[in-house]
Amino acid sequence: MSTPYHVAIIGLGAMGMGAARSCLRAGLTTYGIDLSATAQAQLQAAGAAAVMADARPIAETLDAVLLLVVNATQVRQILFGESGLAAHLKPGTGVMISSTIAADEAAALARELAALELLMLDAPVSGGALKADAGEMTVMAAGADAAFARLQPVLDAVAGKVYRVGSEPGQGSTVKIIHQLLAGVHIAVGAEAMALASRAGISLDLMYDVVTHAAGNSWMFENRMARVLTGDYQARSAVDIFVKDLNLVADTARELRFPLPLASTALNMFLAASNAGHGKEDDSAVIKIFDGITLPGTEGKA
């Protein structure tokens, strides 16, 4: 690039690390912000301009900030908390919020950032860690034309597909929340099917092979139930993430006075898994709520 473009990625989890690597590959001057020393070291080794736990020391050099943290509380704390970043950013900086948050929270954040002459894109993402690492995330973005223009280099770097949902922040979050309804239900029903197969004495490897070559397959079934087959519940996306996301789905439906019977059932399944102590495990661990089955990598009952 003729003029360096400086972007800070805040939150170097599975998605954030991939997004940061994609920004580096695209030639952007990339900074990594995370509390984890391990994550910082990993991105430093990949060629980051700098890594740190707090972006304020580099705030005035930034053209853009991409937030990929867990929830709205963390987003708000980072931007407007006691050590808030927003007040230190120069006017015209683009702020891309890619966490899954409520639409009204996204709209409120956009108003507060606009008061500081900052441009916000409500831009939740999907695709998982592999797509993030390949720079092929799907982005559901809403915001003013100026925000899209300011953040175009970041969008080009991290996204395979950008949907311009609308001009009002909050619209992108609504699309993501509806998407999460499907994602959560697909994981829950995949777990239910595999649990039934186990109870019926059907080989889970066979069942997985059949489904992934037949009409009942989904991306979530194929991705998450593969982890059940190996007994690998190390969290890429945790059970408690879907407790959060399906609660956002429920809140959205309640505001619209709209019934969601399947999403409600899926939420209760994830709540049961969390209540049973599996909240920090991979979301595929929702299968552990079923009694009377034996799963790979576990002893006795799930």
Q: How far is the C-alpha of 276 from the C-alpha of 288, rounded, in Å?
A: 9
Dihedral in degrees, nearest 10, Cα atoms 18, 19, 25, 30:
-120
- Determine the average pLDDT of the residues in 266-293: 98
Q: What is the mean pLDDT of residues 28-37?
A: 98
Active site members: 176
Of 299 and 18, the one with more pLDDT: 18
DSSP element (H, E) containing 137 = strand 137-142
Q: Tell me how crowded residue 267 is: count the other CB atoms within 10 A of its CB.
A: 22
pLDDT digits 0-9 by tens, 76-97 = 999 999 999 999 999 999 999 9
Model pLDDT, residue 300: 42
| Architecture of the domain made up of 174-289 | Orthogonal Bundle (1.10)
Segment 233-255 mean pLDDT: 96
Asked if residue 1 has pLDDT above 90, the reply is no
Instruction: Please give the Cα distance from 148 to 163 (Å, whole number).
Output: 11
Question: In DSSP terms, which residues pair with 121 in a beta bridge?
Answer: 96
Torsions phi, psi for 227 (to 5 deg): -70, -35
Percent of the chain with pLDDT over 90: 96
pLDDT at 301: 42
Residue 257's pLDDT band (boundaries 50, 70, 90)?
A: very high
- DSSP one-letter code for 50: E
Angle (nearest 5°) at CA 171 between 105 and 160 = 110
Q: How confident is the model at residue 2 (pLDDT cuts 50, 70, 90)?
A: low
Give me the pLDDT at residue 299, please.
52
Provide the mean pLDDT of the chain: 96
Q: What is the CATH number of domain 6-167?
A: 3.40.50.720
Residues 101-144 have pLDDT tens digits of 999 999 999 999 999 999 999 999 999 889 999 999 999 999 99
Q: Answer yes or no: are the C-beta atoms of 259 and 302 closer than 8 Å.
A: no
Q: What one-character DSSP code corresponds to residue 2? A: -
SS3 129: helix
pLDDT at 302 over 50: no
Q: Which residues are within 8 A (CB) of 21 and not within 5 positions of it... i.e. 6 or more apart?
A: 43, 46, 133
What does the domain layout of the chain look like in residue ranges?
6-167, 174-289
How does DSSP classify residue 60?
Answer: G
Give me the mean pLDDT over the 240-246 stretch: 97
* Whole-prediction pTM: 0.94
Paired residues of 10 in beta bridges: 33, 67
pLDDT at 292: 95
Contact 274, 240 (CB under 8 A): yes
d(C-alpha 96, C-alpha 251), whole Å: 23
Q: 6 and 64 in contact (C-beta within 8 Å)?
A: yes
